[in-house]
Structure 1
Amino acid sequence: MLGINNTIRGSYAIWWVADMCIEHMKANDGDWPRNWDDLRDDYQTCVARSGQPWTFDELSSRVEVDWDADPIELLPFSDDSAVNLRVIWLRNGSDAHWSGREPNTMILDYLKTLPDPNANAPGG
């Protein structure tokens, strides 16, 4: 039973961290968070919206984030290649997530809602 509980908690934790990263990008002109400290305000936004099922420390102990990711470089990923994108993952190596809430796909879906950063570039 402990394994099932851990899988469920991991699935929710990774969803929360994806939501926190999306909140961060919304509040910071599309900038990707650089570290866990960047997500503290976004954690509070998620808590205000959904309650506090997690402590910030539990999330950071369960989930890993690629702090060097660049949203502009992530945009070319299509739905087919989303499986190759890995900017958020569980530290225990599990790929557990809720259906429709795979964190990397959530990030891509959010990025697709943003205006094309190259639209106003010369020749773009």
Structure 2
Amino acid sequence: MRFFNEKILNALYLSAVLIVIYFGVRWKLHDLYALDDGYAVWLAANLVKYYMREHDGEWPRSWEDLRDLYSIHGGGDGEWTFEKYQSRVFIDFTADPIKLRELSLQPGEVKFNVIRARWTGGEIGEGPNVIIRDHLRYK
């Protein structure tokens, strides 16, 4: 009976160690991805802002509208392909810039979430939606 109890205890101990290792590695990878995603959503907000400046305030309709801007303003360093970039960042291409402007003029927190990381909550500074809010508020 004692041999059986030792096997169970060893199995439990090993399981606990593996769980700690798994969550430690996962936490570290999340941190690494969150930093990359933070820069990615910051760039996405700026790409949308540049697009709106060049197209009389229109919101981009798809990723294709941003492809050339991505190459010019930061995607040309070769680390991420445009396709990989798209897989990491969500942009709501159905957003209405007129409604966003109305929301941007309201005091307090940002009232919309049209650009965000797909996998993490990674943000640099105040976040991508603040960039859009400020662009619409002060244009």
Q: TM-score range by the shorter chain?
A: 0.7 to 0.9
Task: Report the Cα distance in structure 2 between the residues aligned to 1:22 and 1:66, rounded to whole angstroms.
Answer: 14
The equivalent of 1:22 in structure 2 is: 49
Q: Is residue 62 of structure 1 aligned with residue 88 of structure 2?
A: yes
Q: Is residue 110 of structure 1 aligned with residue 138 of structure 2?
A: no
The gaps in structure 2 that reach 5 residues or longer are 1-27
Q: Could you tell me which of 100, 106, 110 is aligned with 1:74?
A: 100
Output one character per residue of 1:82-103: Cα deviation in whole Å (capped at 9) or x when no partner.
1x301111112x3320123x11
The equivalent of 1:120 in structure 2 is: none
TM-score, normalising length: structure 1? 0.79
Taking structure 1 as reference, are residues 41 and 79 closer, same or farther at Cα in structure 2, changes over 3 Å only? farther
Between Structure 1 and Structure 2, how many residues are aligned? 110
SS at match of 1:34: coil
Task: Report the Cα distance in structure 2 between the residues aligned to 1:5 and 1:54, rounded to whole angstroms.
Answer: 15
Q: What is the RMSD computed on CA atoms of the aligned residues?
A: 1.9
Cα shift at 1:56: 1.4
Task: Report the Cα distance in structure 2 between the residues aligned to 1:47 and 1:54, rounded to whole angstroms.
Answer: 10
Misfit runs of 4+, over 4 Å: 50-53
Identity of aligned residues (%): 34
The structure whose Rg is larger is 2
Task: Report the Cα distance in structure 2 between the residues aligned to 1:85 and 1:44, rounded to whole angstroms.
Answer: 27
Cα shift at 1:45: 2.5
Residues 64 and 89 of structure 1 are in contact (CA less than 8 Å); yes or no, is this contact kept in structure 2? yes
Residues 17 and 59 of structure 1 are in contact (CA less than 8 Å); yes or no, is this contact kept in structure 2? no
Output one character per residue of 1:64-89: Cα deviation in whole Å (capped at 9) or x when no partner.
1111111111112234141x301111
